[in-house]
Chain A
Amino acid sequence: MLKTFKGGIHPPYNKNLTNFKPIEKAILPKKVIIPMGMHIGAPCEPLVKVGDTVKKGQKIGEAKGFVSVPAHASISGKVTAVEPRPWPGGGLMMSVVIESDGKDELFEGVKPSKSLSDLSPDEIKNLIREAGITGLGGAGFPTQVKLSPPPEKSVDTIIVNAAECEPYITADHRLLLERPDDVVLGLEAIMKATGVKRSFIGIENNKLDAVESIQKVVQGKEGIEVVILATKYPQGGEKQLIKAVTGREVPSGGLPMDVGVIVNNTGTCAAIANVLKTGLPLIERITTVTGSGIREPKNLLIRIGTPLIDIIEQCGGFKGRPGKVLMGGPMMGLAQSQLEAPAIKGTSGLLVLEKADVRLYEPSPCIRCARCVDVCPINLLPTTLAKFAEKNMWVEAESYHAMDCIECGCCSFVCPAHIPLTQHIRIAKSHIIALRKKK
């Protein structure tokens, strides 16, 4: 039996648009927009002003506080604006705009680090923080913070999240095929930084070539095991992954470290390896540009800050009329309204759905078929929560565990009445948080 979790769905995956395409280096953007808050936590403070020249890899935003990471210039050139700009998270975000000088000059301070065996755990964590590394799966939690659990938590397991359960997205898949040694080097750095001796790399069984690729690198290395997981959405949800791999359940309201686990994304591991090998901070990432509305779907290695429209144009532009442009996959991706917004550290994919493929539904009454209940990976009662949300019954929603919802979207996906259950629960969560703050 393959390892997995309870509930979940089997959406159409559509990964065959890009899973056979090697990672392609994007052309140097003419302009990048670097938002100061690409991570969860305090946004950073700009270190440059209009007119400054910057080089690739230079720090341009200083982290403010513990849960924060610095931001770096992803190209060389001149700072033309330091102002709030549209960003993929919605609304405006303080950003540094850099106009390229076309030279792509490397900042003098960027040098390969000592080899991993000579680095102390604290040095590794510091490198990770200074390189601005956040989780590359999408949420963007500062990696170094994850690797620094309070002393009373005994972490004994590291999991590399290589499930890549979002339909369409193949960035991690290609990374595992093309740079498996980087993923493993990053994992070894994490193990050394945390002093954890046991680790797993979890991959869904629809990527057996990736399993084979990583297996070759892992062979003979102590404490690293590849785990083949059932292909089911949301297998790559942190809690679902932990349950599948270790059998442990993260307590409600808690963190993975509460059950002794730290989970890191495949791309995050490769980014750590990149810092060790080149000294370059996190200024580029692999993004799967795909969907029915894209002429040439690709896995692109892009500079952070590249405007979304530039990325789309490099992939042959739109095919037909675009209906939705999503940052991320179709299950959890964020619909974009402004294409001059930049790709950020968490941009694992850029999915364009043609207008004809975007269907909007009028919800009809709930018939209590309980499909949402059957698929919920958290075992919530989505229909009940949605009814509470519709009636502004936030206290009741909280008592039915609304805050445990991971917003994976399975309930909305299966609902025959087309009720936007996930959205209702999301609204309930924001009200519950507001109520908690008031107290």
Chain B
Amino acid sequence: MDEYRLITTSSPHLHSGESISRIMFSVAIALLLPTFAGIYFFGFRALSLVIITSLAAVLTEAIFQKLRNKPITIADGSALVTGMLLALNLPPGLPYWMAVVGAVVAISLGKQIYGGLGANPFNPALIGRVFLMITFTTPMTTWINPIDGMTGATPLSLMKMEGISTDYTKLLLGNSGGSLGETSALLIIIGGLYLIYKGYVDWTIPASYLGSVALFVAILGQDPVFHLLSGGLMLGAFFMATDMVTTPLSKFGKVIFGIGAGVFTVLIRVYGGYPEGVSFSILLMNAFTPLINRFTVPKIYGEVKAR
């Protein structure tokens, strides 16, 4: 019967058809929504920044893998997602070359140095952003107002420095100062819900993250709605705290992750030196992820006493 050369692999013999590239490109599509908001409010500058940063990320991945004689995996879409996420977290007026430096750092020091996709402990885009934040502090905190392009302050720093709140509608739509893709809470939420619907984002993380921020802010006597809608929280909660590679495996672990990120965010926003703490808090919780995984191994079927 050798004539048939039957294939004898181990069961199961069916597959769902899901793939990493499908997940990554769905995330990229969802990220287009806040990208459009950025382009609408900050113009051509935003568009070019997103394109340049994404290209730099993808190229860095290819070059790094080429140098290490590893298969080039840019087609999986993960470097594109990192590049887009980084761009959405940058001030729209940032010099292009600084954005490129950020992308190179994100991919090389944030991801490839650990062995590439799946092996990085920290969210690569946030590594890139925090690197830029510390290295080029002034350009990274120089914000321009939407539409008119004048320099101004973000709603969070207005609140922190001068105690001035910003109109909720402005925050929801995105007509306020801030990073390129973080200003329109509404479009970010729509993109995030799309990913939750597709099953690519676990709702427990945004729910616990946003929920804990609202709760702790309220406890500290500040306006929870303002805090939820401003800064990088929405973008972080839906797109960065949900990065599969760097977050816990179990549902309970994810809830701990979300709450932890929420607590750190509020602490930094209210008591810290920076007006915003989303990036730092997610990175901090990334560091805790292996520990969380260790202590949240789910109780299995049959962990019961015999009758």
Judging by beta carbons under 8 Å apart, are B302 and A254 in contact? yes
Which residues of chain B are within 8 angstroms of A315 by Cβ–Cβ distance?
Answer: none
- Please tell me if the beta carbons of B119 and A365 are within 8 angstroms of each other in the complex: yes
* Distance in Å: Cβ of A298 to nearest Cβ of chain B: 20
Interface residue A12 (Cβ < 8 Å from any Cβ of B): yes
- Cβ contact within 8 Å between B10 and A251: no
Beyond A239-B302, A365-B119, A414-B18, whether A373 also contacts B11 by CB under 8 A is: no
A219 interface residue (CB < 8 Å to B): no
When each residue 354-385 of chain A gets 1 if its CB lies under 8 Å from chain B and 0 otherwise, what string results?
00001111001111111101000111110110
Name which residue of chain B comes closest to A364, CB basis: B20
Closest CB in chain A relative to B14 CB, distance in Å: 5
Which single member of A258, A333, A414 contacts B11 (CB below 8 Å)? A333
Residue in contact with B245 in the complex, picked from A339, A361, A367, A404, CB distance below 8 Å? A367
Q: Contacts A339-B4, A381-B298 known; A413 to B116 CB distance under 8 Å?
A: no
Q: Name the residue of chain B whose CB is nearest to the CB of A370.
A: B249
Q: How large is the interface on A (under 10, 10 to 19, 20 to 34, 35 or more residues)?
A: 35 or more
Which of B249, B302, B303 has the most CB atoms of chain A within a 10 A radius of its CB? Answer: B302
**Known: A251-B305, A252-B303, A336-B8. Contact between A373 and B13, CB under 8 A?**
no
With A254-B306, A384-B249 known as contacts, the answer to whether A370 contacts B10 (CB < 8 A) is no
**With A and B bound together, what is the CA distance between A407 and B12 in angstroms?**
9
Q: Are A413 and B297 in contact (CB under 8 A)?
A: no
Question: What sequence of 0s and 1s flags, for each residue 414-439 of chain A, a beta carbon within 8 Å of any chain B beta carbon?
Answer: 11111010110010000000000000
In chain A between 214 and 267, which residues have their CB closer than 8 angstroms to a CB of chain B? 239, 243, 249-254, 258-260
Contact A413 B14 (CB under 8 A): yes
Is B149 located at the chain interface by the 8 A CB criterion?
no
In the complex, chain B residues 2-16 whose Cβ is within 8 Å of any chain A Cβ: 4, 6-16
Q: A377-B301, A413-B14, A413-B16 are in contact. Are A365 and B116 (CB under 8 A)?
A: yes
Q: Which residues of B contact A196 (CB under 8 A)?
A: none
Whether A335 sits at the interface, judged by CB under 8 Å, is yes
Please tell me if the beta carbons of B250 and A422 are within 8 angstroms of each other in the complex. Answer: no
- CB distance A252 to B11 under 8 Å? no
Q: Which chain A residues (376-408) contact chain B, with CB distance < 8 Å?
A: 377-381, 383-384, 400-401, 404, 407-408
**Residues on B with beta carbons closer than 8 Å to the beta carbon of A369:** 23, 200, 244
Within 8 A of A (CB), among B266-307: 293, 297-307
Contact flags (1/0) for B174-211 with A, using CB distance below 8 Å?
A: 00000000000000000000000001101000000000
Chain A residues whose C-beta falls within 8 Å of the C-beta of B66 in the assembled complex:
none
**Inter-chain contact B12/A422, CB cutoff 8 Å:** yes
Contact A333 B13 (CB under 8 A): yes
Q: CA separation between A258 and B306, bound complex, in Å?
A: 6
A338 within 8 A of B: yes
B6 touches A337 (CB 8 A): yes
Question: Does A167 sit at the interface, judged by CB under 8 A?
Answer: yes
> CA of A41 to CA of B199 in the docked complex: distance in angstroms?
43
Residue A331 interfacial (CB < 8 Å): yes
Contact A364 B7 (CB under 8 A): no
A326 interface contact, C-beta 8 A: yes
- Within the assembled complex, what's the spacing in Å between the Cα atoms of A361 and B307? 44
A interface footprint on B91-125 (CB within 8 Å = 1, 0 otherwise): 00000000000000000000000001111000000
Whether B69 is near chain A, meaning CB under 8 Å from some CB there, is no
Tell which of A154, A251, A326, A383 touches B13, judged by Cβ atoms closer than 8 Å: A326
Q: Is the CB of A422 within 8 A of B118?
A: no
- CB of A331 within 8 A of CB of B298, answer no
Q: Are A339 and B11 in contact (CB under 8 A)?
A: no
Taking a contact as CB atoms closer than 8 A, the residue among B14, B116, B249 that contacts A12 in the complex is B14
Contact B250 A359 (CB under 8 A): no
- Which B residue's beta carbon lies closest to that of A255? B306
Q: Which listed residue, B8, B20, B302, touches A251 by the CB 8 Å rule? A: B302
A279 contacts B by Cβ under 8 Å: no
Do A381 and B13 form a contact, CB below 8 Å, given A365-B117, A373-B250? no
Q: Which residue of B lies closest to A9 (CB)?
A: B16
B12 touches A338 (CB 8 A): no
B306 CB to closest chain A CB (Å) equals 4
A323 partner, pick from B7, B23, B301, B304, beta carbons under 8 A: B7
Chain B, residue nearest A323 (CB) = B7
Q: Does A101 contact B (CB under 8 A)?
A: no
Among A11, A251, A338, the one with the most B-chain Cβ atoms within 10 Å of its Cβ is A251
Are the CB atoms of A364 and B73 closer together than 8 Å? yes
A309 contact set on B, CB distance < 8 A: 1
Q: What separation, in Å, do the CA atoms of A353 and B244 have in the docked complex?
A: 34
Tell me, in angstroms, the Cα distance from A316 to B185 when the chains sit together: 61
- Closest residue to B21 on the A side, CB-wise? A416
- Give the contacting residue for A379; candidates B199, B298, B306; CB below 8 A: B298
Query: Which among B7, B11, B23, B299 is the interface contact of A358 at CB below 8 angstroms?
Result: B7
Closest Cβ neighbor of B305 among chain A residues: A251
Complex: how many Å from CA A335 to CA B302? 30
Q: Is the CB of A335 within 8 A of B76?
A: no
Supposing A335-B13, A409-B12 touch, asked if A416 and B301 sit within 8 A by C-beta, the answer is no
Q: Please give me the 8 A-B residue pairs with the lowest Cβ-Cβ distance, nearest first.
A: A409-B12, A365-B118, A252-B302, A335-B8, A423-B10, A416-B18, A369-B244, A330-B13
Q: A360-B7, A422-B11 are in contact. List 11 more A-B contacts (CB 8 A).
A: A154-B307, A167-B14, A258-B306, A332-B11, A367-B117, A380-B300, A401-B300, A409-B11, A416-B18, A417-B20, A426-B10
| B interface residues (Cβ-Cβ under 8 A, vs A) | 1, 4, 6-16, 18-20, 22-23, 73, 76, 78, 116-119, 199-200, 202, 244-245, 247, 249-250, 293, 297-307
Provide 27 A-B residue pairs closer than 8 Å at the C-beta atoms, listed in order of the A residue. Answer: A250-B302, A251-B305, A252-B301, A252-B302, A252-B303, A253-B302, A258-B306, A324-B6, A331-B13, A335-B6, A335-B13, A337-B6, A351-B13, A364-B73, A364-B117, A365-B116, A365-B118, A367-B23, A367-B244, A373-B249, A381-B297, A404-B302, A413-B12, A415-B18, A416-B20, A416-B23, A420-B9
Which residues of chain A have a CB within 8 Å of any CB of chain B?
6, 9, 11-12, 154, 167, 239, 243, 249-254, 258-260, 309, 321-326, 330-340, 351, 353, 358-361, 364-371, 373, 377-381, 383-384, 400-401, 404, 407-410, 412-418, 420, 422-423, 426
